[in-house]
């Protein structure tokens, strides 16, 4: 068996039954996207795999048991007032099937707080064959059936992540094309099931590339993604784009300012993303909480953007909260206060109203 998902032919077209199904779900898609695209609100990514959250827990000496994972995610979702800043939460499959301490299913609990439940549907990354240091995303096999199951359990939007390593030779044309087709195939299946797809092409920042090189790669990636979305007849009005920001690599000796990140990110988006896309919710991709907030704010300081520019952060929303909680029930209230403040700051950034002086109000040290 080849160690990557089956390649999707360029001539693929959704079957007629899929198009009919999507049209019948149009009202569901419209209702969901209208809430996810609300100004001043973002999406919480709480969909870390067991391996990922296990590493984060381990660093804080928290045992990664099912109950601890459930308790931590309940802490996030039950934060008083969080629905002022969070429109939806991306869940891991384990959480979708869990209940709160009061016995309510998490999707039902979120809806009771006027927050939409979503679900991560990809099955993670595997090496891309005949390539070096590149990865492909698996999970298309059986996805249609899984989407129907997830919807029956309350999920109304989904997420699929593709990653692109940056070097002088990568991403390769093969990786760009394959990931674009996988993202588009996934998005078409989501819409056919009445589920809004989050399309997540992440240009990794683990190398020493400059912000200019990141802009070049991001433009090529987004061009390919939207070309494939068009081929697969995906309705752009009912997707959430979740890209990485245009930013220098972590090992680059020249660090870009927030103003540079904002200007170059918006420049690339204007060249590649149709105005039909209602909302672009960025991933933080290894940035510090403060950097992710400042960079988002810089984008929203620029006038004339046709899309809502907001956030879909994981660590940039959760980091200080988790460090405050430490797995101890007595720290829940303090951790929730930190989480609420971080969400509020990003809400302000999504409106172009954030200033760094507001960070002083955050009590985490």
Q: Please say whether the beta carbons of 227 and 179 come within 8 A.
A: no
Nearest CA among 212, 218, 219 for reference residue 260: 212
Please check whether residue 83 is in contact with residue 113, taking contact to mean a CB–CB distance below 8 angstroms.
yes
β pairing state of 116-120 and 157-164: parallel
What are the tokens at 136? 């492909």
Catalytic residue list contains 323: no
Q: Do 143 and 184 form a contact (C-beta atoms < 8 A)?
A: no
Residue of 151, 159, 242, 344 with catalytic role: 242
Which secondary-structure segment (H or E) carries 309? strand 308-313
**Distance from C-alpha of 351 to C-alpha of 297, rounded to nearest angstrom:** 7
Three-class secondary structure of residue 157 per DSSP: strand
Distance CA 181, CA 225 (A): 7
* Terminal-residue alpha carbon distance, the chain: 50
274 three-class SS: coil
Residues forming a β-bridge with 42: 86
d(CA 50, CA 89): 17
Give how far Cα 154 sits from Cα of 119, 200, 211, Å: 9, 22, 40
Rounded to an integer, what distance in angstroms lies between the CA atom of residue 344 and that of residue 358? 10
Longest Cα separation, the chain:
57
Q: Is 326 a catalytic residue?
A: no
**Residue tagged active-site, from 48, 93, 200, 202:** 200
- Please identify every residue annotated as catalytic: 200, 242
């Amino acid at each position: 068996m080849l160690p990557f998902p089956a390649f999707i032919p360029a001539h693929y077209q959704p079957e007629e039954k899929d198009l009919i199904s999507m049209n019948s779900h149009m009202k569901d898609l419209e209702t969901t996207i209208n809430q996810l695209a609300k100004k001043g609100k973002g999406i919480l990514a709480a969909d870390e795999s067991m391996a990922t959250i296990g590493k984060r827990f381990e660093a804080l000496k928290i045992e990664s048991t099912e109950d601890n994972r459930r308790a931590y995610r309940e802490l996030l979702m039950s934060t008083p007032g969080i629905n002022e800043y969070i429109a939806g939460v991306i869940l891991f499959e384990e959480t979708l099937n869990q209940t709160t301490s009061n016995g309510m299913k998490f999707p039902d609990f979120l809806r009771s707080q006027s927050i939409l439940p979503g679900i991560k549907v990809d099955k993670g990354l595997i090496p891309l064959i005949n390539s070096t240091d590149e990865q492909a995303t698996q999970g298309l096999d059986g996805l249609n059936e899984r989407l129907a199951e997830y919807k029956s359990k309350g999920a109304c939007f989904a997420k699929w992540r593709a990653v692109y390593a940056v070097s002088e030779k990568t991403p390769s044309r093969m990786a760009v094309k394959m990931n674009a087709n996988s993202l588009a195939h996934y998005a078409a299946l989501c819409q056919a099931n009445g589920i809004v797809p989050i399309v997540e092409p992440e240009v990794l920042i683990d190398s020493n590339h400059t912000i200019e090189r990141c802009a070049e790669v991001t433009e090529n990636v987004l061009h390919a993604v939207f070309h494939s979305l068009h081929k697969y007849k995906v309705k752009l009005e009912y997707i959430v784009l979740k890209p990485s920001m245009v930013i220098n690599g972590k090992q680059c000796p020249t660090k870009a300012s927030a103003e540079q990140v904002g200007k170059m990110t918006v420049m690339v988006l204007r060249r590649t993303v149709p105005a039909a896309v209602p909302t672009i919710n960025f991933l933080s991709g290894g940035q510090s909480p403060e950097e992710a907030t400042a960079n988002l704010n810089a984008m929203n300081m620029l006038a004339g953007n046709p899309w809502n520019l907001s956030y879909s952060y994981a660590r940039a929303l959760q980091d200080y909260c988790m460090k405050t909680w430490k797995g101890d029930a007595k720290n829940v209230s303090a951790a929730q206060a930190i989480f609420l403040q971080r969400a509020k700051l990003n809400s302000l950034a999504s409106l172009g109203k954030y200033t760094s002086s507001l960070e002083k109000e955050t009590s985490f040290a």
